[in-house]
Amino acid sequence: MTERVVLAYSGGLDTSVCIGWIAEETGAEVIAVAVDVGQGGEDLEAIRKRALACGAVEAEVADARDEFADEYCLPAIKANARYMDQYPLVSSLSRPVIAKHLVAAAKKHGATTVAHGCTGKGNDQVRFEVGIASLAPELTCIAPVRDYAMTRDKAIAFAEANSLPIATTKKSPYSIDQNVFGRAVETGFLEDIWNGPIEDVYEYTQDPAVPREADEVVITFRSGVPVALDGRPVTVLQAIEELNRRAGAQGVGRIDMVEDRLVGIKSREIYEAPGAIALITAHAELENVTVERELARYKRQVEQRWAELVYDGLWFSPLKRALDGFVEEANQYVSGDIRMTLHGGRAVVTGRRSDTSLYDFNLATYDSGDTFDQSQAKGFIEIFGLSSKIAAGRDLTQ
């Protein structure tokens, strides 16, 4: 039986060329798999047909939009996950769900190898290959762009020599990856970190400097899950999509950062994630109202480590699974409404209400009706600061 290779297929030049390239280099049949995680753009049925026209023996398209939103984006919202306190893990979150579908296709078609189109200096090669190894350690991974030094010039020459049905003359100045949770842009003039981004870079967001009417939205959560917008029930996917439109129209979610890649280099990245930033901001504020202080303090440490694990491609790792359990438990009482104003590139919380709130008006108020017994504060301070006081006394005598 002829060996089979499952290829993560995007429909672009590199992965289209990979189909014939793999066949020539390995003698294997190629099954192309495209996974819809809400990236928009070209019709996925057209992509499937293109894969077949480029030589794939079979081509599949998996609609993973709700799966991606429910099983990958939602945990990130519950974890308030931002790598380096900024990046809401846009591409990082999509790689494990794509890896899951690649493994399923490999098992279905009896393939022994999975291929992807990543380069050797990015994070995604790690995310794909570690994810695949975690789900199916018996599979082998190859990356033609990396393993066979498949430069763009070589890819264009191969496409032209084999009359592949794909444009080979136009090249975007940017490298772009996008899904429903956001959009990532790099390369081109952006590699000079002194150069500011221009409006041409953006697609999910409008210029926040342009005057426009503010948009107010009420987001309802139940145990950390966004379940309604302005009182209308929504799925997680619908919540992200609607806030992409509404927050994006206000310029919310633009991020320009230099980040630490897993492979050891620093990279300048431009991100757009209007829905993600609005939801994470609202969720984090509702936690401030409903999560007990010591749990909240510890959760902030967990959030950072959770984001690092996902960024580093360790979605299926034992530590990530264990932290998932903590995050889920911490979200037990994160229910209620957050009112936000979307305007001028910012998502600003202006109101909070919750039946599981730990905010006690009578304890917090300074007006009549105050139930906080201030007479107990003096003794509390004496005991609380006692160890520091004793140490200070010793230090002053040395």
Instruction: Give domain status of residue 311, yes or no.
Output: no
Per the annotation, does 9 bind a ligand?
yes
Residues 188 and 157 in one domain: no
Instruction: Give domain status of residue 301, yes or no.
Output: no
Distance CA 233, CA 132 (A): 35
Per the annotation, does 124 bind a ligand?
yes
pLDDT of residue 116: 94
pTM reported for the whole predicted model? 0.94
Residue type, 337: D
Instruction: Give domain status of residue 265, yes or no.
Output: yes
Residues 349 and 365 in one domain: no
The count of C-alpha atoms lying within 13 angstroms of the C-alpha of 119, restricted to the half-sphere facing its C-beta, is: 6
Per the annotation, does 231 bind a ligand?
no
Instruction: Give domain status of residue 319, yes or no.
Output: no
- Domain range enclosing 94: 4-171
CA 213 remoteness from chain centre = 29
Instruction: Give domain status of residue 273, yes or no.
Output: yes
Task: Judge whether 314 and 99 are in contact, CB under 8 Å.
Answer: no
Q: Which helix (DSSP H) or strand (DSSP E) does residue 229 occupy?
A: strand 225-229
What CATH number is attached to the domain comprising 278?
Answer: 3.90.1260.10
Instruction: Specify the range with the lowest mean pLDDT, choosing from 117-121, 159-163, 287-291.
Output: 159-163
Residues 157 and 234 in one domain: no
The count of C-alpha atoms lying within 13 angstroms of the C-alpha of 103, restricted to the half-sphere facing its C-beta, is: 18
Residues with a known catalytic role: 14, 95, 124, 175
Per the annotation, does 387 bind a ligand?
no
Task: Judge whether 150 and 119 are in contact, CB under 8 Å.
Answer: no
pLDDT (tens digit per residue) in 312-353: 999 999 999 999 999 999 999 999 999 999 999 999 999 999
Residues 192 and 65 in one domain: no
Residues 242 and 111 in one domain: no
**What is the mean pLDDT of the segment spanning 20-43?**
89
Residues 154 and 207 in one domain: no
Length in residues, the chain: 398
Residue type, 294: E
What CATH number is attached to the domain comprising 372?
Answer: 1.20.5.470
Residues 165 and 212 in one domain: no
* Domain-ending residue, one of 171, 198, 230: 171
- List beta partners, residue 184: 177, 271
Per the annotation, does 259 bind a ligand?
yes
Report CA Rg, the chain: 25
* Domain-ending residue, one of 171, 198, 233: 171
- Show the tokens assigned to 383: 């005991």
Per the annotation, does 333 bind a ligand?
no
